[in-house]
Homo-oligomer: A and B are copies of this chain.
Amino acid sequence: MYKVGIVGGTGYTGVELMRLLSAHPQVMLTAVTSRGNAGMPVSEMFPSLRGVVDLEFTEPDPERLAECDVVFFATPHGTAMESVPELLGRGVRVIDLGPDFRLRDAATWSRWYKLEHSCPELLDEAVYGLPELYREKIRTARLVANPGCYPTCTLLAVMPLLERGLIATSRLIVDAKSGVSGAGRQAQVRTLLCEAGENFAAYGLPGHRHHPEISQELRQIAKQDVELVFVPHLVPMIRGMETTIYAELTRGDVDLQELYERRYASETFVDVLPAGAVPDTKSVVGTNMCRIAVHRSGKTVIVLAVIDNLTKGASGQAVQNMNLMLGLEETLGLQAAALVP
């Protein structure tokens, strides 16, 4: 049994991590920290974990965390970068679910997060934790930057097209929709049931923080800049994310269905739907799956992809990365079917 810890366990990615890790056959959760709630039983804040997680929240004590094989950071931006260097120095491997190590360029990071980066030297070392793209690097990484939910759902959807140079890079339109849990567990008016319920709107215009992250990886895949138009929307539901992506095909003679099926044939967590189908978010709730469908309208290719923003979009992918880093079966603890209805 490997020992794992969570720094910042009171948010939605934290409780999702605890749900997944408590069912994982090869790891033992030994520490969950929360500065504001140290001493409170985890199951008092989350009654769903009564009888499942028998820990109290603790202060983020480096001594205790140093005993872990892997530590997850489920913290807002700017927190992980303060503690990660010490933990790495003590031989702990780290998976950061926040954005501190996702951008390779410190200046870009500072511009978007309005903060100086405290350990820019780690940006090069950190591996972007999208296994479908960087699996081999993840296996040996000390520090994995777990991708954002929008980037995960977008990159998996366009990767097959960009890798083969089949779409124009002059304009990629990503119309994205997220359940409200993506906004976190902080008390705020706009995510109250009475505000976000029975409501639909775009947000984050002109610029969402996932924009530079998506752009960076699009460039990696395409080997050139991709002009991204990205509009996220808030959906009146708890979990789930969908992206509808529009791009211009540069060649008309490609069998898109076959392309996608081949690209993802050996990926357990990417499911290419049959031609003509459309994915719905409910079919992936609570799972690490990404389901994708590809359609065409004239010269425009339309790719539809869904994930659970808290699972494949955050904590599930983090567990997938942990499995890779520990040399375990990649799917361990991630095989439950979606909760339907």
Contacts and interface: CB of A to CB of B under 8 A. Distances in A.
A339 B278 contact: no
Interface string A153-174: 0000000000000000001010
Contact of A341 (B12, B18, B340): B12
A250 interface: no
A320 to B, nearest CB: 16
B203 A278 contact: yes
Contact of A202 (B202, B239, B304): B304
A169 to B, nearest CB: 13
A171 B298 CA distance: 10
A51 interface: yes
Interface residues of A, number: 86
Given A19-B340, A337-B23, A244 B175 contact: yes
A4 to B, nearest CB: 16
Contact of A238 (B191, B194, B239): B194
A220 interface: no
A50 interface: yes
B297 A206 contact: yes
Contacts of A291: 47, 50
Interface string A184-214: 0111110111111111111101100000000
Given A48-B285, A186-B189, A285-B339, 14 more contacts: A12-B194, A46-B340, A47-B280, A185-B194, A197-B237, A197-B238, A199-B280, A200-B240, A201-B306, A202-B244, A202-B278, A203-B278, A231-B244, A231-B302
